[in-house]
A = this chain, B = another copy of it.
Amino acid sequence: MLKLSFKPYDLRLNHVFRISRGARSNAPIILTRLTYEGVEGFGEGSMPPLYGETPASAVQFLSKVDLSGFKTPFDAEEILGYIDALAPGNAAAKASVDIALHDLIGKLLHLPVHQYFGLPAAKHHTSMTVTIDSPEAMAKRAQEFAAFKYLKIKLGTANDRQIIEAIRTVSSQPFFIDANQGWNQKEDALDFIHWLKEQNTVFIEQPMLKEDKDGQAWLAARSPLPIIGDEGVQRLESIKEAANLYHGINIKLVKSTGLREGLKMAITAKALGMKVMLGCMSETSCGISAAAQLGALADWVDLDGNLDTSNDPYQGVTVNQGLLALTGLPGIGLTHADWDEIQSIAP
């Protein structure tokens, strides 16, 4: 019998995480566990306040879940279809069930999830994120991340150029640039992207408001760098339109409702000739280890959400000199997970 447990959790960040649309020093999270015939699968959904979910909404959603009608965890599409149909929204809560289900399936089959999906264990360098602060403080953070191959720079401020110039005085690492919808004039954005290209930038993430579709289409037609949709691309159904607005998509499991729909998003985006990036929120090693299972489908990976936290209850993928390494263990590959020792923390 399939049994679901869940606990709200409050993940503590070592540094304030500031982007163009807000700042925080913790991450409200829902942790899940699915058990079946004595085997445990672990899942997680991180809920940044901007996305509208809260531990309370996740608990309310997960309290409705009744898996007694499902005989085996291998009927993934039917189980996740049922979960998805329980209520609209709740993407992170849904992802927390999907991840636990895939961890469980992998363990039952003695296969890492990536191999269950037929995918190789990808070797990616993850970017490390420098969040918004003064140019000097951001340059100092960049120096601390000198071992990483890529830096992800949060922009969308009044002094974006000074930030880049300050970081370039201490670092020549290629940049992933994330404006988090912070650029509102498309002509200015295009000029700045041309300049960023000269500063060794790989791509631009979500430059403008997701609602400004005409502006985004205009920019995508002219940008000398790939533009990746994040806030503007949530689930599988949004990719058809996104193909006309962006050159690629940032897949985050808390947006996609988990691994299975994330896999479909990656397959669809690649079939349409789009780039695929894997992203995350501030998460424990559970969510990060899950997302890493899709690495083989990604052009770029930004899976650093567990690296600057102080109370991660799990251990899974490792990062060494920026290189993300899967553990090779069944499921999502956690090397430490003890449900009973995790103290639920209501944020």
Contacts and interface: CB of A to CB of B under 8 A. Distances in A.
Interface of A: 72, 74-78, 109, 111, 115-116, 118-120, 236-237, 239-240, 260, 264-265, 267-268, 271-273, 296
Contacts of A72: 115
Question: So how many copies of this chain end up in the complex?
Answer: 2
Contacts of A78: 120
Contacts of A265: 271
A66 B74 CA distance: 32
A74 B268 contact: no
Nearest to A274: B240
B272 A240 contact: yes
Given A109-B109, A267-B264, A75 B120 contact: yes
B75 A115 contact: yes
Contacts of A273: 240
Given A75-B115, A239-B271, 10 more contacts: A74-B111, A74-B116, A74-B118, A75-B120, A78-B120, A118-B260, A240-B273, A264-B271, A265-B271, A267-B267
- Chain B CB count within 10 A is highest, among A118, A120, A240, for A118
B109 A77 contact: no
Nearest to A101: B118
Contacts of A109: 109, 111
B77 A271 contact: no
10 contacts: A74-B115, A75-B115, A76-B118, A109-B109, A109-B111, A236-B271, A240-B271, A240-B273, A265-B271, A268-B268
Contacts of A118: 74-77, 260
Nearest to A297: B77
Contacts of A236: 271
A268 B77 CA distance: 16
A234 to B, nearest CB: 13
A271 B237 contact: yes
Nearest to A239: B271
Nearest to A75: B120
The 7 closest A-B pairs by CB, nearest first: A76-B118, A268-B271, A77-B118, A268-B268, A74-B115, A264-B267, A236-B271
A30 B119 CA distance: 27
A174 B138 CA distance: 67
A234 B72 CA distance: 35
Contacts of A120: 75, 77-78
- Chain B CB count within 10 A is highest, among A77, A240, A265, for A77
B237 A77 contact: no
Contacts of A119: 77
A21 to B, nearest CB: 28
Contacts of A240: 271-273
